[in-house]
Structure 1
Amino acid sequence: MAGASPHSRGVALIGCGSAQAEQVISNDQLGLRVETSDEWIRTRTGIGSRRVSSPQESLTDLATKAGNSALEMAGWSADTLDLVLLATSTPDDLFGSAPRVQAALGASHAVAFDLTAACSGFLFALVTASQYLRTGAMRRVLVIGADQLSRFVDWDDRRSCVLFGDGAGALALEASDGDGLHGFLLHSDGTRGGVLNLPALDTAAPLAGQAKHRQGGYRPIAMNGQEVYKFAVREVPAILQSLLDQCDIGPNEIDWLLLHQANQRILDAVADRFSIPHEKVLSNLAHYGNTSAATIPLVLDEAVRDGRIRRGHLLASSGFGAGLSWGAALLRWQGPA
């Protein structure tokens, strides 16, 4: 790739952006559809409302808007990008939506592909992108996390429909002499994957003669909320502790906890485990719900733009979700102060 240097071994985080779906659906509005209430949802999840895409909004639209915002903050032209990496479980095209985003951005010199790891997707994509930068194979990368889970929610299932929303967030990464990625750990455990699924249809359809084929399509999201909660409050503190030990960094050195926005009780439990004040936990869950791969970059972008995150701040991040998959990364913000 043009501009890449075999001596560039660091990764700089220098720009971010986000995009939200148009429609705001409050807890009270959901109560008109299913038997629930604002109090019931808030006390169990911390969610007050969520964004739901209109029929006219595509995943590509959200991802492109977030990507353009990150490019603007970084001060980059799209044609200087080497890679557009889209973390999503809900592409507009099952063959991949990253090339559509690449075209919409005008990133004519970039390779583009999707990465699917559900709610861990953005963190997994960030780590993947960093490897191209560390080797010198690429110089500039745009990582986007975007999901439209509203397309696969059973809106008559009050256990799950209250949780999810739509959105996108993006991060601009550049090869650097310094390093904004101090360390990372990633894990997967397929033996526990049955507690959170967006399963394929198992419908058989006639083909020819006695032959049949499996009909394409997907059923709504299915989740065992109690098991997912237990998984998160056990594994997230454990992987963060392992990463802090690996990097010889104490919890008191962390400026912000940047966690996947699944449930406010999970965020608080992780903070309590490390004796980190709750005001150092980044959270926008109340306004957006769980936007899957978009949650981490979306809350990051808001905190950068409102001045909470400043240049040099150290962020302890963790993503976790379906697969089951989970990971952690220690990040140093090097973008605008």
Structure 2
Amino acid sequence: MVSCLPSRRIENEDFLDRFGDKVHEVVKMTGVRTRYWVEDGTTTSDLCAVAAECLLDRLGWERDSVDGIIFVSQTPDYRLPATSCVLQHRLGLRTGVLAFDVSLGCSGYPYGLWMAMMMVQTGAAKRILLAVGDTSSIMNDADDRGTALLFGDAGTVTAIEATVPDADPAWFILGTDGQGADNLIVPGGAFRKREATGRLEGHPLDKLFMDGGEVFNFTLKAVPSLIRDTMAAAGEGVEDYDMFLLHQANAFMIRHLAKKAKLPPEKVPINIDRYGNTSSATLPLLMTTDRADALTTGDCRVALFGFGVGYSWAAASMRIGPLRCCETISL
């Protein structure tokens, strides 16, 4: 797997003129100190294309050996066509491969893994590229410190193929509660007409709206049981895992969830301080930045947990590694 970050680094000091001392309050809660934003005109597919080119080169995969590409993002290039079709052509993959988009954010990576692995397991494909990422900075309301300081941009690509006939099974838990849809939403810009009333009064409808308190409450309610249920489904205990990878939504939240689930802190890496909340890309980015050495040199039991916008959640328990490629590059 390869993650691609924009080259434009945004420091907290860059927000002082706009938000003043409020910057320090947000940082205390979220833990974000730096993040990377795309330049005008750069999209998620640009980041994913660079990551894919690097990954294909590292693996030595011929373009015509790839059977499909899945693009998981809530910041596509267009309403239509699907960005996966754009990437298929841009990467020079053969005509006729399967390609489709999935509109998911925080839970997107485990969902994408589930779909890609099902395709490989059923024989529908032998090699899949899973492109996952978001450029949330484009959706940020510059006057909303709760989102402007929180989100970063990243694109990732994971290569999936069947190589070991007797590999350990992967376990997944996927779920949704659409009652929380309005608590993390871009209200306008698509086909449903919304008015800037109630909580949305004065808010630009084409920008991200987040009710941080409601999202926080959902997470504290849903994730501890998700962690327990995932380990129970896999028949594993905390001691059996090398790492627990949680969606990088908020540093305080991650530490609280780890403590509540009795997960050893050393097994719960955090990189939101350096990259911000990169939405669907947080889990693969966490692997390529903070666990690359372990994943390229050993066979690791990994649990992944994505949760947030939708509301949606997804978890996976699997063995990963040793990977032939696990790195982070810049655009």
TM-score by structure 2 length? Answer: 0.87
Answer yes or no: is the 8 Å Cα contact 2:181–2:311 preserved in 1: yes
Partner of 2:86: 100
CA distance in 1, matches of 2:20, 2:168: 46
Structure 2 Cα separation of the partners of residues 185 and 77 of structure 1: 33
Look up the match of 1:31: 16
Q: Deviations over 1:20-68 (max 9, x none)?
A: 0121111111122223455323310011011110014222210111222
Which one is further off, 287-296 or 305-314?
305-314
- Written as runs of structure 1 = structure 2, the 5 A alignment for 1:72-221 is 72-95=57-80, 96-109=82-95, 110-176=97-163, 177-179=165-167, 182-201=170-189, 202=193, 219-221=206-208
The percent of aligned pairs where both chains have the same amino acid is: 30
**Alignment partners' CA distance in 2, 1:311 and 1:107:** 31
Q: Partner of 2:305: helix, strand, or coil?
A: strand
Shift of 1:113: 1.4
User: Offset of 1:336 from its aligned partner?
Assistant: 3.2
> In the TM superposition, what is the alpha-carbon distance from 1:304 to its structure 2 partner?
4.5
User: Does residue 47 of structure 2 align to residue 59 of structure 1?
Assistant: no
Q: CA deviation at 1:180?
A: 5.8
Moved more, 33-42 or 149-158: 33-42
Partner of 1:281: 268
Is this contact kept in 2: 1:146–1:292, CA < 8 A? yes
State whether residues 247 and 306 of structure 2, in contact with CA within 8 Å, keep that contact through their aligned partners in structure 1.
yes
Q: Report the residue type matching 2:157 in the other structure.
A: A
User: What is the one-letter code of the residue matched to 1:98?
Assistant: S
Aligned partner letter, 1:106 = G
Please say which of residues 191-200 and 42-51 is displaced more in the overlay. 191-200
Residues 30 and 36 of structure 1 are in contact (CA less than 8 Å); yes or no, is this contact kept in structure 2?
Answer: no
Runs of 5+ consecutive residues of structure 2 not aligned to the other structure: 196-203, 326-331
- 8 Å contact from structure 2 (residues 294, 300) kept in 1: no
Q: Contact between 1:169 and 1:296, CA under 8 Å: does it hold in 2?
A: no
2:36 aligned with 1:70, yes or no?
A: no
Which residues of structure 1 form unaligned runs of 5+? Answer: 1-15, 205-216
Out of 317, 323, 329, the position equivalent to 1:330 is 317
Q: Which amino acid in structure 2 is aligned with residue 192 of structure 1?
A: G
Shift in alpha-carbon separation, 1:273–1:309, aligned structure 2, 3 A: farther
Is 1:318 the counterpart of 2:305? The answer is yes
1:262 to 2:246 alignment: no
Letter in 2 for 1:235: A
Counterpart of 2:289 in 1: which secondary structure?
Answer: helix
Query: Aligned equivalents of 1:301 and 1:33: distance in 2?
Result: 33
1:181/1:329 contact within 8 Å kept:
no
Alpha-carbon contact 1:310-1:333 (below 8 Å) kept = no
Structure whose residues are more often helix by fraction: 2
Deviates more, 1:285-294 or 1:295-304: 295-304
Amino acid at match of 2:45: T
- The partner residue of 2:31 within 37, 41, 46 is 46
| Aligned residue number for residue 212 of structure 2 | 225
Partner-residue secondary structure (3-state), 2:74: coil
What letter matches 1:263 in structure 2?
N
Q: Does 1:272 align with 2:256?
A: no
Determine if contact 1:180/1:333 at 8 Å carries over to the other structure: no
Q: CA deviation at 1:203?
A: 6.8
Query: Considering only aligned residues, what root-mean-square deviation do their CA atoms show, in Å?
Result: 2.1
What is the aligned residue count?
A: 310
Normalising by structure 1, we get a TM-score of 0.86
CA contact (8 A) 1:169 1:301 kept: no
Report what 1:213 is aligned to. Answer: none
